[in-house]
Chain A
Amino acid sequence: MAYSAEKLNEEKVFKDPVHRYIHVRDRVIWDLIGTKEFQRLRRIKQLGTTYLTFHGAEHSRFNHSLGVYEIVRRISDDVFFGRPEWDEEDRILTLCAALLHDLGHGPFSHSFEKVFDLDHEHYTRAIILGDTEVHHVLTRVSADFPQKVADVIAKTSKNKLVVSLISSQIDADRMDYLQRDAYFTGVSYGHFDMERILRVMRPREDQVVIKQSGMHAVEDYIMSRYQMYWQVYFHPVTRSAEVILTKILHRAKDLHEQKYKFKYDPIHFYSLFNGEITLEDYIKLDEAIILYYFQMWQEEEDPILKDLCCRFMDRNLYKYVEFDPAKEYKKLAELSALFKKAGMDPEYYLVVDSSSDLPYDFYRPGEEEERLPIHLLLKNGDIRELSRESEIVDAISGKRRTDHKLYFPADFIADDSKKPNIKKQIKMLLEID
């Protein structure tokens, strides 16, 4: 029997708080889960620094990846099975792509990618195509199978239907993370009727469409997503932790460039500092390693690195004020000069951070937009873009919300024992007591 069709003697199940059970019957899926590159995802948190705000948010990318796989398995086996537009040949490709879609994420991805100019999608591809356990499992399906899986994840596959299941404005990835993140953070947002959405999904040649009768369930999903972004993902305290984390990495990199002699040799960071990171080095990185360095760097001689690491480990985060860059950029320059005079390097201690989200957008022909909209399947067989049928979705379509905040160490500023007059001016400009 071909490896791609091989089934386990008995179905394996993972207990899961979101989907209750995750079912694995295919040998290839079971083998992929067992690879060291996939197991590494257990050591990378799904929500990065969010656990410093919502203490339950300790779940990993491993949990989420299994969840996305399970949603796609249900779509494929329960909803699409037997439909003429669905090619059963694509089943195992879709399942593998769903399972592996986040494989290249590193620890605290957002900050790492920013500081070291990395791209997790590049590493997802590199792990799938490189000399790895995952690659060897995929190659057993066929020699070109790893490339096919990588293309679906990178959205460069010509099979648009399969791509849209993993990555679109209503995909398995979003459906899992919204529910999972809501569960683990403990918030009451993020819930929607996924069962209903799955039941009304239909395959078409180049995308998934939703039966018109499921429109209200989709409206609920879009509103859940909107609320999760502003209540959880962009929470200002989480952003403060992210700001400090990013600054720690910047400081360590700067110190390395200045030939600073670290008390604790950051061997795992050297290839990152030098921009020569190999796949082998990358796979070794996880949050345990990074937090080990943060712990040790609390004892470094460099006062900035030491302070930032203490702040992160002890959760002594920066405070913030609302900031309007358009009106206040001159004030920012003034503040920056005052911070320098007060002995606080503004590069590390005065940070503007922005968040922005577009809850839903539709495609406007010729306007050079790039988002694939959600399409409804009408009773007469016609296809119609969601916001043309739904007043709720129409009201938020294309409406981006952006928020800027200015972060700073309030405890340093409050300490009047040094440079009290300058700090008084800083407080006045920041409009804080």
Chain B
Amino acid sequence: MLKDHAKLMHAIAVSEEIVGRKKLQKMIYIAKNIAFPFQERFQFHFYGPYSEELTLRVEELCNMGFLNEVKEKKGGYYQYRYTLTETGKEFLGINAVDMPSLQECLLDMNGQNARFLELVSTVLYFNDLPKEEVKEKVFTLKSKQRYTDEEVEQAYQYIESLREKAGLH
């Protein structure tokens, strides 16, 4: 019953706060791809894997009063800050979610910047390809971000460290 909503609220609750829609998208994608049973489907868009369903669910949760969305002006654009409301906490109390080790992974991701998470999620999206081909994809599709070889290597290492945190090794 509203389990998928509860899972997302749980993710935001254990992250304490998520700043930026792109960051939220990438954190959930990476968590899903690594081990955690989020239901939202992702497709490849401008900033890498993106889920229309996730955008929708976040909007719904804000409309329901379970999530707090604060719009902040940052330079030439706006960014969004998400936290759980008191009603949201109450809802989550009734609909408890059990995803062990999710918090550790999400807190780690939350400490990274959105640009790096965009790279990590893109690497994961093409994970069935050999590393050299993944690099080619990153450099072609993400040419504006100017990722380096070293950053791609860091992304691979980061994925491994998250898998360890999720208890996959």
Does any Cβ of B come within 8 Å of A56's Cβ?
A: no
Shortest beta-carbon distance from A352 to chain B in Å: 6
Give the chain A neighbours of B52 by CB distance below 8 A.
370
A359–B50 CA distance with the chains assembled, in angstroms:
18
A349–B141 CA distance with the chains assembled, in angstroms:
46
Does any Cβ of A come within 8 Å of B165's Cβ?
A: no
B47 contacts A329, C-beta separation under 8 Å: no
B59 contacts A400, C-beta separation under 8 Å: yes
Of A96-104, A223-231, A361-369, the one touching chain B: A361-369
Shortest beta-carbon distance from A65 to chain B in Å: 19
A158 contact from B2, B43, B46, B140, Cβ within 8 A: B140
> Which positions in A face B, CB cutoff 8 Å?
113-114, 117, 119, 121, 154-156, 158, 325-326, 329-330, 332-333, 336, 346, 350, 352, 354, 356, 358, 364-370, 372, 400, 402
Give the chain B neighbours of A367 by CB distance below 8 A.
21, 77-78
Does any Cβ of A come within 8 Å of B5's Cβ?
A: yes
Does any Cβ of A come within 8 Å of B66's Cβ?
A: yes
Give the chain B neighbours of A370 by CB distance below 8 A.
45-47, 50, 52, 55
A154 contacts B1, C-beta separation under 8 Å: no
B64 contact from A326, A346, A368, Cβ within 8 A: A326
Dominant secondary structure of chain B at its interface with chain A? mixed
B77 contact from A114, A366, A372, Cβ within 8 A: A366
Known: A119-B41, A402-B63. A325 touches B2 (CB 8 A): yes
B66 contacts A350, C-beta separation under 8 Å: no
Shortest beta-carbon distance from A230 to chain B in Å: 15
Q: Which of A121, A154, A158, A325 has most B Cβ within 10 Å?
A: A325
A372–B117 CA distance with the chains assembled, in angstroms:
22
A155 contacts B45, C-beta separation under 8 Å: yes
A114 contacts B39, C-beta separation under 8 Å: yes
Q: Which of B10-30 contact A (CB under 8 A)?
A: 20-22, 25
Does any Cβ of A come within 8 Å of B111's Cβ?
A: no
Give the chain A neighbours of B59 by CB distance below 8 A.
400, 402
A325 contacts B64, C-beta separation under 8 Å: yes
A158 contacts B141, C-beta separation under 8 Å: yes
A329 contacts B91, C-beta separation under 8 Å: yes
Ordered by A's residue number, 7 sampled pairs between the chains whose C-beta atoms are within 8 Å are A326-B64, A346-B1, A356-B60, A368-B79, A370-B46, A400-B59, A402-B59
Q: Write the chain B residue with the least CB distance to A402.
A: B60
Give the chain A neighbours of B55 by CB distance below 8 A.
370
Give the chain B neighbours of A155 by CB distance below 8 A.
43-45
A354 contacts B1, C-beta separation under 8 Å: no
